[in-house]
Amino acid sequence: MLNTIVKPFIPLAFMLGLSAFNMTTAHATPLTQQSFAQVLQEERTWAGLTTRTLKVGDIEWAYSEG
């Protein structure tokens, strides 16, 4: 008896579930595209690292400090 009462409501429940899913995904914030170098630079800044350069003759050295 319960099966005959619930069975007609299954498609309705399914449609309501899908519409709720569509509403939540429609308002999602889009992901921003960043290059790997940009991500690494942000991580270095967050960690407090800075890039230092030292020129000796015609050779320029670059290193991280912090």
CA distance 33 to 53: 29
Q: What is the pLDDT of residue 6?
A: 52
pTM over 0.75? The answer is: no
CA distance 32 to 47: 22
Instruction: State yes or no: pLDDT of 26 exceeds 60.
Output: no
CA distance 31 to 47: 23
- pLDDT-derived band at 48, boundaries 50, 70, 90: very high
Instruction: State yes or no: pLDDT of 15 exceeds 80.
Output: no
- The answer to whether the beta carbons of residues 4 and 10 sit under 8 Å apart is no
pLDDT higher at 19 or 30: 30
Q: What is the residue type of 58? A: D
Domain that holds residue 13: 2-27+35-65
DSSP for residue 9: G
Number of domains composing the chain = 1
